[in-house]
Chains A and B, each alone.
Chain A
Amino acid sequence: MAAGSPPLPSGKVTIPFYRDTRIIAIIVQIVFAIAVAALLWYLYSNMMNGLRQANLLPTFAFLSVPSGFPIAESVIPYDPSMTYGRAFVVGILNTVRVAGIGIILATILGLILGIARLSDNWLLRNVALVYVEIVRNVPLLLQLIFWFSLTRLFPRIQESIDVGGLLFLHNRGVTLAWPQAANDFDVWMVWVYGGIVVGIVYYVVRRIQFARRDRPGVALPQALLIAFGIALIGFFTTYFAYGSWPVSLSIPELQRFNFVGGITVTNSFAALLVGLVIYTAVFIGEIVRSGILAVSKGQREAARALGLTPGQTMRLVILPQALRVIIPPLTSQYLNLTKNSSLAVAVAYPDLFYVANTINNQTGQAVPVILMLMASYLSVSLLTSLFMNWYNRRIQLVER
């Protein structure tokens, strides 16, 4: 206690421990920790008691039992004879699918919106303003239901709107012609992989050269061009060598009930995607706008004085700097979009939350299912955050 102070001449004055702030602090913390632990223990044993009484003790055994319920759409093969565990994975993938595509589209639309809000064009600026004010002031759930109801206005599948025989609009979604692997697809894939390898090698070699010379340079576009070019050459070579294209177009054909061939984007997925994108883009737009405004006016003026066009000014000077302000709040929006996708159930899209609820309902295993649900959303969110934080660090100013 008094270690640092010089020894006192007469009799040691010791502070009683209950007046020593350091000891008190430790005691308080210990008491608090015990109280929290006791509370958690109480809640836990209370829950277990209740569950035991109701014959509902948590177990994960159900995961390997056949689920028996159908799921409308799935990225991986699924049917009701497969397990609850598989159904859960189907839910995760469906959430990732809508969130992934949603994030990309919302970013693009948000960027356009943010720039439009700052446009010199009166009409463009105000259209963007009206869009922002309407969309961000209406609850998302309502918007989802609105988009979903809108799909009812399309004709029944038998009377689909036919766009050139390749695209069909109906009240169950959109069916469109889609490329499909043909006989010689594998041959062509060899070319494609070859192209990718050559592209990567080229890119790495160039980067090493740049690093040696300590000069900046661009390698990615050329690398992509090389990979793409090789794939294209392979495409035609395969045709000339085997007489048929490696990829064919699967044209949708209306059968008695549904289209066969092509791909169908269900109205549920479409409504959810459109709803999430339109809603999130508004917030992204505002973030982009604030990011652009945060770049000092001098930068723009300097760029213009150097003779850069307005487009170049935006692309090469303003946006790269604005990005540093934009990324952190953008991450939040990406996470919001992912979490908001749990409203999917309102439009009958089988996302994670929906599937988990059905599993819970059929098995009665609320505690395990909710733990799995929380862990899944947490993992998806943390992965997104990690990626965005990495990207954020990458684009921060490197002080030399």
Chain B
Amino acid sequence: MRKQMILVLAGLLSLVLAACGGQAQQAPTTAPAQPATTAPEQPTAAPPASPAPTAAPAATSAPAGGTPAQPAAGGLIERILARGTLICGVNNNPLPGFSSVDAAGVRAGFDVDFCRAIAAALFDDPNKVEYRPLSAQERFTALQTGEIDVLIRNSTWTLGRDGNLGLDWAPTTFYDGQGMMVRKDSGINTLEDMNGATICVQTGTTTELNLADQFRARGLTFTPVVFPDGDATRAAYDAGQCDGFTTDKSGLVSSLTLLSNPADHKILEVTMSKEPLGPAVKQGDPQWFDAVRWIVFATFQAEEYGITSKNVDEFLKSDVPEIRRFLGIEGDLAKGIGLPNDFAVRIIRHVGNYAEIYDRNLGPNTPFNLPRGLNALYTNGGLLYSPPFR
């Protein structure tokens, strides 16, 4: 009997460990260079056009492509730099447009590009990322245990997660809402038509909670079919085992392309929730949290200034003070967040500004062709707004 107890314990322990370990061994490779990005690496410390070399503050004079200003001793930034790669938690099942692996084994997508932007800011090399594929259920544990540095896996920022899970959310990179997909021939047009329906949903998500709330609020009943894994959820819906399939609208648009017959399905008008998706970090390292925040802001700000990966070199010659500060030619603003002064340049050069990231993955030339909607700059009626870089 004692043996049995030990067996139970060992079994549970290994399951728990497996849950934390995710599929670490599956894709520990840093992705090879993405063809889309433009300029090759350059030493960036001293921008060519700066008349007075105030640009390089004492600490950035470290070796080219090298150590940033002042990462707090023992902080996560220091550890990431010492390790030489950023560990970024991403989707484990393909979510085309956000994170998926192509036939050549290159991981790409909207979320992935933000992992690359962080690596670019830290290392001046967007490829120094180790991706950890995580299911919805595993993701927060991986972050809490420090197995990943940052989680960029279409994760919704909520009060409960922010507070009770010991996490912190960087600015939202994608404003989304939950939607519902049904078969066209089902005659369903609104949620009210779905009383008594069976609905496929993924566990460990805000989705499963919103679904219950929305149906309860409308006095409707439903049977949930709940999977831990995105692929299984979609496959069950595809096979007709569910009448509806619900997740973030972006996820629905993306999943639609993976169904056996996309033309048979439609996404209902209704938006069931607010789903602000953005990078999350573990609570307790303010400098790292700040760094991730400002890396995201830099992509917004670059779009606002119209700086792209193509024209960034022209802008380096600019003598507009705002732009010179943003690009790190003047001042030593980034010191406080432990990043090199030219981190914005590194991000723009290697990954691009927000518009470039968006268009590359979700824009008109992709199968998704998602309108920017709320994800436009505030100047265009959207919600993207960066605090000033000064």
- Which residues of B212-230 are within 8 A (CB) of A? 212-213, 216, 222-228
Contact A172 B196 (CB under 8 A): no
A80 within 8 A of B: yes
Interface centre among B4, B11, B164, B283 (most CB of A within 10 A): B4
The docked-state distance in angstroms from the alpha carbon of A377 to that of B223 is 27
CB distance from A257 to the nearest CB of B (A): 4
The docked-state distance in angstroms from the alpha carbon of A176 to that of B235 is 26
**Selected contact of B284 from candidates A53, A342, A360, CB within 8 Å:** A53
**Selected contact of A257 from candidates B11, B197, B283, CB within 8 Å:** B197
Contact B15 A353 (CB under 8 A): yes
B270 within 8 A of A: no
CB distance from A65 to the nearest CB of B (A): 10
Contact A258 B223 (CB under 8 A): yes
Chain A residues near B239 (CB-CB < 8 A) = 152, 171
Chain A residues near B212 (CB-CB < 8 A) = 68-70, 79-80
Contact B209 A362 (CB under 8 A): yes
Contacts A258-B196, A258-B198, A361-B204 known; A377 to B12 CB distance under 8 Å? yes
**Selected contact of A348 from candidates B160, B161, B236, CB within 8 Å:** B236
A54 within 8 A of B: yes
Task: Tell me the number of A-to-B contacts counted with CB atoms below 8 Å.
Answer: 134
Chain A residues near B164 (CB-CB < 8 A) = 55-56, 363-364
**Which single residue of chain A is at the shortest CB-CB distance from B233?**
A348
The docked-state distance in angstroms from the alpha carbon of A72 to that of B240 is 17
A118 within 8 A of B: no
- Which residues of B96-123 are within 8 A (CB) of A? none
B53 within 8 A of A: no
Chain A residues near B284 (CB-CB < 8 A) = 53-54
- Which residues of A138-191 are within 8 A (CB) of B? 151-152, 156-157, 171-172
**Selected contact of B224 from candidates A71, A267, A339, CB within 8 Å:** A71
The docked-state distance in angstroms from the alpha carbon of A364 to that of B161 is 8
**Which single residue of chain A is at the shortest CB-CB distance from B243?**
A257
**What 1/0 flags go to B269-285 for Cβ under 8 Å of A?**
00000000000001110
B165 within 8 A of A: yes
Contact B226 A357 (CB under 8 A): no
Contact B282 A348 (CB under 8 A): no
Chain A residues near B235 (CB-CB < 8 A) = 152
B359 within 8 A of A: no
A335 within 8 A of B: yes
Chain A residues near B226 (CB-CB < 8 A) = 70-72, 348, 350
CB distance from B381 to the nearest CB of A (A): 33
Chain B residues near A70 (CB-CB < 8 A) = 208, 211-212, 222, 224, 226
B166 within 8 A of A: yes
**What 1/0 flags go to B135-175 for Cβ under 8 Å of A?**
01100110010000000000000001101111000000000
B383 within 8 A of A: no
**Which single residue of chain B is at the shortest CB-CB distance from A342?**
B15
Contact A54 B166 (CB under 8 A): yes
CB distance from A217 to the nearest CB of B (A): 35
**What 1/0 flags go to A69-90 for Cβ under 8 Å of B?**
1111000000111000000000
Contact A381 B8 (CB under 8 A): yes
**Selected contact of A56 from candidates B9, B166, B211, CB within 8 Å:** B166
CB distance from B243 to the nearest CB of A (A): 5
Q: Chain A interface (Cβ within 8 Å of chain B)? A: 53-56, 68-72, 79-81, 151-152, 156-157, 171-172, 255-258, 260, 267-268, 332, 335, 339, 342, 345, 348, 350, 353-354, 357-358, 360-364, 366, 370, 373-374, 377-378, 381-382, 385, 389
Q: Chain B interface (Cβ within 8 Å of chain A)? A: 1, 4-5, 7-9, 11-12, 15-16, 19, 136-137, 140-141, 144, 160-161, 163-166, 194, 196-198, 203-204, 208-209, 211-213, 216, 222-228, 232, 235-236, 239-241, 243, 282-284
The 8 closest A-B pairs by CB, nearest first: A54-B166, A80-B212, A364-B165, A156-B240, A70-B224, A361-B204, A152-B239, A257-B197
User: What are 23 sample pairs from A and B whose C-beta atoms fall under 8 A apart?
Assistant: A53-B283, A56-B166, A68-B212, A69-B208, A69-B212, A70-B224, A71-B224, A72-B225, A81-B216, A257-B194, A257-B196, A258-B197, A258-B198, A260-B196, A267-B241, A335-B7, A348-B225, A348-B227, A361-B136, A364-B165, A370-B12, A374-B12, A377-B12
